[in-house]
């Protein structure tokens, strides 16, 4: 399995930036640095927050419920990309 930071990730929005935190640290999205809107920052933060759960669910579906070899390979390649392989 991959060596991802263990969650739970938590999103803390404010007027000019978004913070996504876990027990080991945080990511901070500053609108001035990334030139994105608070809506985009919030959407990205929630995607980061849920990505470990999505990864685990895709992995489970691939191993336990995927009878289609094309779909299996597509999920496997996506998970490899998420692991940086």
| In the chain, domain spans | 10-82
Mean pLDDT of 7-30: 71
Sign of CA dihedral 39, 35, 84, 69: positive
Q: Has residue 42 got a pLDDT over 70? A: yes
What pLDDT does residue 18 have? 72
Global confidence as pTM: 0.68
**Chain centroid, CA 68 distance in Å:** 25
What pLDDT does residue 77 have? 96
Q: Nearest 5°: phi and psi at 21?
A: -125, 150
Q: Has residue 51 got a pLDDT over 70? A: yes
Distances, alpha carbon 57 to alpha carbons 24, 30, 51, 75, in Å = 23, 30, 10, 11
């Amino acid at each position: 399995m991959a060596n991802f930071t263990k969650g739970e990730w938590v999103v803390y929005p404010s007027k000019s930036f978004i913070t996504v935190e876990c027990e080991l640290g945080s990511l901070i999205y500053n609108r001035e640095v990334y030139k994105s809107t608070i809506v985009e920052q919030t959407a990205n933060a929630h995607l980061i927050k849920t990505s470990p759960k999505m990864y685990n669910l895709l992995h489970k579906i691939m191993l336990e419920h995927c009878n289609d070899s094309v779909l299996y390979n597509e999920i496997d390649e996506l998970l490899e990309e998420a692991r940086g392989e």
